[in-house]
Structure 1
Amino acid sequence: MSVTESALRERLCEVLVRRGDEIADRWVRQQVERVSLSEGLAQEDLHEEADALVAALRRGMASELPTDRVVASHQELREAVVDMSMRRARAGSSPTATSLSVLALKDVLLEAAQQESLAADDMLAAALLLNRLLDAAGALCFETYVEGREEIIRRQSRQLLEVSTPVVRLWRHVLAVPLVGTLDTARSQVVMETLLEAIQQHEATVAIIDITGVPTVDTSVAQHLMQTVQAVRMMGADCVISGIRPAIAQTIVQLGIDLSDILTRANLADALATAVRLTGEDGTGTVSGPLAAPGAPEVRAAP
């Protein structure tokens, strides 16, 4: 870092000290006037992040860090930019608008520096220095925004998978997972985790995986099912797969997939009857209890 640049940073720090509040206020007004830069945020939020960013910028420039590394390496300044970006991501602002909001601070800072009667050469140098600083801040803001939105999307996707993969308690110590739609690697992992947690929570001894709503079963889907069955067994529970339609059964045979050691039933009713028998709670094989409504036909365990 040259002496000239060091002295210039010191002059700009002095400007930020004397005019920090004024700079923050002008920056907020500029964003409010350009509605696209402040969409989704209240003025109180804009003032809060403006005060934080201006203060962090002042301390960052006062540090011994090289100008090109101030934004990336000065912890307070980096956190101020990241917090601003994440806040705007949650508010629904676009990444472009978020970055432009940071870049809009250039004009306000240069105007404040000009009011300090800097020489023409110093103003040019100040403009170049602020460009380097705030361009880096804008890039970090954009990068953080994109990463934050991706994390939000991943979290929401997982939540949707969990909602679409409910674990239902059908009987005392009997759980069922009715699967509908495509069963890929990500969803299979959620099915396994959710089912194992439910087995532990309800002290289940039998788990039914119903694939009536799964349109196709290929090698990958079958492998996922077998892994889930193995995990359930490791938890000390039995596993029953129901809902294997004729077409799916033919596909499984043609693919050479061996499910001979896995207990299967044609439909959920048969699987429930088998599960009740496996629990050993009804020695007669007759389902009785809260699921057997008055006058309803009895469900017998499969022989």
Structure 2
Amino acid sequence: MKPSIIEMIFSQRYELEERWLKEIEAVRSSQSLSTAPDDLYEKTNREFVQVIIDTLELEKAQAKEKIHSFAERFMYSGWPLSYFTQGLQAFRRVVLEMITTDGSIASKRVFETFYEVESWIDGIVNLLVDEYSGSWENTIQIQKMALKELSAPLIPVFESISVMPLSGTIDTERARLIMENLLDGLIEYRSQVVLIDITGVPVVDTMVAHHIIQAAEAVRLVGAECVLVGIRPEIAQTIVNLGIDLSKFPTKSTLRKGIEAGLEMTNRKIVKTQT
């Protein structure tokens, strides 16, 4: 940007900031930030202006780092990206209004000045969008990984008996995760019997049944037994209608019955004691 424009922005910095604060008030109500404390709101906006103007003096890498630091703090505080992008558009309008009314710029350079200001603000908008999208993508990926780890846990309930409760839909990716957790857990807990509980699985179609059969077969190959529990009447009817063969391993209607079967398979049983 031309030194004369930069000099004008810095020399009229206070007036620019005050004009912008008035412009941004309209954005505040539209972005549901009206409940934010006034002192915090004003402090954030003044810091935002500081960041915008500082980019004029900083090297590209330094400017990017400053914007990154600012965006990272406020995106995790719940400030929407659209507030800052609209704020930048308002800032651009105020700068251009001040430049065109200043009278110090020759008419033949007006379009050139417009272009330079546009490029400056657009650059900040792009950096902000990149920072927000990158951070949210990382956050979503971390959450996705955590959900996957929690979606197919193998839980030891008795010595040599573990339960894997499943819920939600089972696709190919999740089936792979189920298989990995199942086999790793068998080794870790030294389980002889695994109960796969499908009470929380809304639909058991041919593909889901195929994945369950594969898991049960893998359990058998490592020297353990698998019991499928949570067979509700509607699931049983679906399995029959689809012609799915689950005869290779035991099935039980409830987890309680599955645990009783698992205890019998390990030469134990539940005995009621007299009080």
TM-score computed with the length of structure 1 as normaliser: 0.63
Taking every aligned residue pair, what percent have the same amino acid on both sides?
29
Q: Helix, strand or coil: the match of 1:170?
A: strand
Cα pair 1:24 1:50 within 8 Å, conserved: no
* 1:104 match: 90
Q: Find the counterpart in structure 1 of residue 198 from structure 2.
A: 211
Please give the TM-score of this superposition, normalised by the length of structure 2: 0.68
1:98–1:274 Cα change, 3 Å:
same
CA distance in 2, matches of 1:276, 1:27: 76
Q: Could you report, residue by residue, the CA deviation over 1:7-52 in whole angstroms, capped at 9, with x for unpaired residues?
A: x434444556x55974895487346634246935644444444433
Superimposed CA distance per residue, residues 198-256 of structure 1 (whole angstroms, 9 cap, x where no aligned partner): 65665544331112343331022223323544565677754321122354334334434
Paired positions, count: 267
Tell me if structure 2 keeps the 8 A contact 1:89–1:95. Answer: yes
Give SS of 1:58's match.
Answer: coil
Instruction: Indicate yes or no: 2:25 matched with 1:33.
Output: yes
Instruction: Mark the CA change 1:107 to 1:32 in structure 2 (over 3 Å): closer, same or farther.
Output: closer
Post-superposition CA distance 1:34-81 (Å, at most 9, x none): 424693564444444443343234335xxxxxxxxxxxxx44444544
Is 154-163 or 222-231 further displaced after alignment?
A: 154-163
Preserved CA contact (<8 Å) 1:176 1:207: yes
CA–CA separation in structure 2 for the residues paired with 1:203 and 1:19: 74
Structure 2 gaps of 5+ residues are none
Q: Answer yes or no: is the 8 Å Cα contact 1:106–1:131 preserved in 2.
A: yes
After superposition, the Cα gap between the structure-2 partners of 1:28 and 1:158, relative to the gap in structure 1 and judged at 3 Å, is: farther
Q: Are residue 265 (structure 1) and residue 252 (structure 2) matched?
A: yes
1:244 and 2:231 correspond: yes
Map 1:1-303; keep pairs closer than 5 Å. 8-14=1-7, 18-19=10-11, 22=14, 25-26=17-18, 29-30=21-22, 33-34=25-26, 35-36=28-29, 39=33, 40=36, 42-60=41-59, 74-81=60-67, 84-85=70-71, 87-110=73-96, 117-139=104-126, 141-142=128-129, 145=132, 168-184=155-171, 188=175, 202=189, 204-229=191-216, 238-278=225-265, 280=266, 283=267, 285-287=268-270, 294-295=273-274
1-structure distance, mates of 2:185, 2:20: 50
Is the Cα–Cα contact under 8 Å of residues 96 and 142 in structure 1 kept in the other structure? no
Task: Specify the code of the residue in structure 2 equivalent to 1:9.
Answer: K
Structure 1 residue runs without a partner (length 5+): 1-7, 61-73, 297-303
